[in-house]
Chains A and B, each alone.
Chain A
């Protein structure tokens, strides 16, 4: 019997969310977030198990999961770097930051370092444009960046 992805902890966390919604299907985004928070990404199996839990079809779950940019349907590393590539960061030189990261980590957008430590993604305007360029790593905001500041920042993410 194949091991399930969703733990009983996941399930009770998701079940608590139902109270906020009149329909169970309305909880599917919350469900996806909880799965991702606890498992780093949402696999095909997770989609199917979540579907069963929410009494929806896997297609309905995945229709939502694949639409939203911050639900990861492929594995990601321990730390996800998101580089803002919107207009103010572009004016203020985000490309320098991106190139430095690519060079340092030897990965491009959508890729993960061999040691599974970092995944590199782009993200749209982070809403901190007066401190551009900016990136996020996991839930942390890093701004007023110059390429030389990056090593120290990356160092703090093991």
Chain B
């Protein structure tokens, strides 16, 4: 469904079969799978980390932090802790995001190989794949693939005669968006409530069970075998704007062709929206979009030429996030859309810190009042207040500040629409 006859190199998705089945070990090996691991085991862990750093690979979970740099924070000297962990964050629950699902259901071995290489780079003796419950098919895929990997000697003791031992285990979660936050994920893996942790200390110091830990996104890790095989230069050249690599971009909403495409990192929003998603569906006009999932700021028509890379989107006042755009059409109420998002965030709050726990339900209630025609003039001031109250750093983790991104940008760009709700005592879209 996502294949297109363009001449773009698509290392992540080119072998995915699109018939609902995933690549078996043999199939994966026939595409060159696990050659990256073999090559990596000939290098030193420090060399691998350096290579990944040079490639420019940034965290694809939304934060965009240099993966190589993150790995380099792990002490691998003789003084280091014997027990270290690598965790693949497969808890994709960001509203509007569906990219990791595709990789997990299509090519689980690619992820596994990436994790093993990462484990080797940070000398982790144990890895987890933390998978959200809803991705049931992916769970089956990973379970089968892990067994295949063990049987083939890619996991366990003395992998490929290298002397390196590492084990991997799948953990399927039981809900809660918070589990996608790396420190909260670690708490969930420890069998606790997924409240986040304060940093410092960073997980690389005291992570899973108090041991040095790295958490990486599925898409991030899936890139690793290819970087090992083809080098840093190759990876950098894949992207349009020099940040390195391809990106899985997606589109949902009232577009002609909602979907998922692997494209060079840094294509423009316009290309994604018009060329790949086919533009707006018949009868709908473009009003705005969230470029990277529910917790990013709206962008408008005027931003459509922005390159979809981390730096450019940030410069435009938003975030690349997961790179899956949620499109707002002219027949959908922006207040309703933000209300839906704030209700989501309010309900997914873990309940640990005051601003998120108390502030988010309040914003949701105000938006509900606006939608149902009981909004008041001062409501916009209160909403504005909340976008400052829950600014980054004011809360314990990034959930609430993320929740404020669509709200603050909607207040900026769709102010008139909000005011209509107040003055007309109803939602103009719902009558």
Contact = CB atoms under 8 A, between A and B. Distances in A.
Do they bind each other? yes
Interface of A: 20-23, 25-30, 32-33, 63-64, 67-71, 85-88, 90-92, 123-132, 136, 139-141
B96 A88 contact: yes
A27 B189 CA distance: 9
A141 B190 CA distance: 28
B191 A125 contact: no
B175 A25 contact: no
B97 A91 contact: no
Contacts of A92: 252-254
Contacts of A128: 98, 101
B51 interface: no
Interface residues of B, number: 54
Chief secondary structure at chain A's binding surface? mixed
A141 B169 CA distance: 24
Interface of B: 92-98, 100-101, 132-137, 169, 171-177, 188-194, 209, 250-254, 258-260, 294, 324, 326-329, 332, 336-337, 340-341, 344, 347-348, 350
Contact of B191 (A28, A71, A124): A28
A124 B260 contact: no
A127 B188 contact: no
Contacts of A86: 95-96, 294, 340, 344
Nearest to A82: B134
Given A29-B174, A92-B253, A129-B252, A87 B133 contact: no
Contacts of A129: 95-98, 250, 252, 258, 324, 326
Given A29-B191, A131-B258, A87 B96 contact: yes
Contacts of B171: 30
A123 B134 contact: yes
Give the most central of B94, B252, B329, B347: most A CB within 10 Å: B252
Contacts of B258: 129-132
A4 B96 CA distance: 43
Contacts of A20: 169
B363 to A, nearest CB: 15
Give the most central of A30, A124, A126, A140: most B CB within 10 Å: A124
A123 B133 CA distance: 11
B172 A130 contact: no
Given A87-B344, A124-B95, A124-B177, A64 B192 contact: yes
A57 B133 CA distance: 26
A25 B175 CA distance: 19
A33 B174 contact: yes
The 6 closest A-B pairs by CB, nearest first: A69-B175, A130-B258, A129-B252, A70-B175, A26-B191, A88-B252
A122 to B, nearest CB: 9
A125 B95 contact: yes
Given A86-B344, A87-B341, A90-B337, A70 B190 contact: no
Give the most central of A30, A32, A68: most B CB within 10 Å: A68
